[in-house]
Amino acid sequence: MEISLNFIHPAELKTLNDISKISHQYREIRKFISQYSTYAKDNSRFELEVLEDALPPGFYIQAFANGLDTVLANYHDMVVDLEKKFLKKPTTSLMFIFHEINKFRPL
């Protein structure tokens, strides 16, 4: 199935791609957390495939994954809030969504 993007301005397309990249990075970090965090095993929000090149288990890697899980809770909460705002007002701009998500872009 081919999708025509002729109706989307190039700047909007770039913004969508940037949002997609941030979302992809979040998903990759969630994979790591789901494999190594002690929190994720008890409180997993969703199932993700296990990483192929697994690191040996240890307290440092668990602590790091637990810390990532704690920090990413803010991102997850922000996405839930964005969904609520969009459901209340479907005309929420793409730039507003990008502005909120971009705060979590890695350096």
pLDDT tens, 44-101?
555 555 556 666 677 898 999 999 999 889 999 999 999 999 999 999 888 999 999 9
Reported as type and span, the H/E element at residue 35 is helix 10-36
List the Cα angle 8/77/101 in 5-degree steps: 35
What pTM did the predictor assign? 0.71
DSSP, collapsed to helix, strand or coil, labels residue 1 as coil
CA–CA distances in Å: residue 10 to residues 16, 41, 93: 10, 41, 16
- Which strand (E) or helix (H) includes residue 65? helix 59-88
pLDDT of amino acid 1: 45
d(CA 53, CA 78): 31
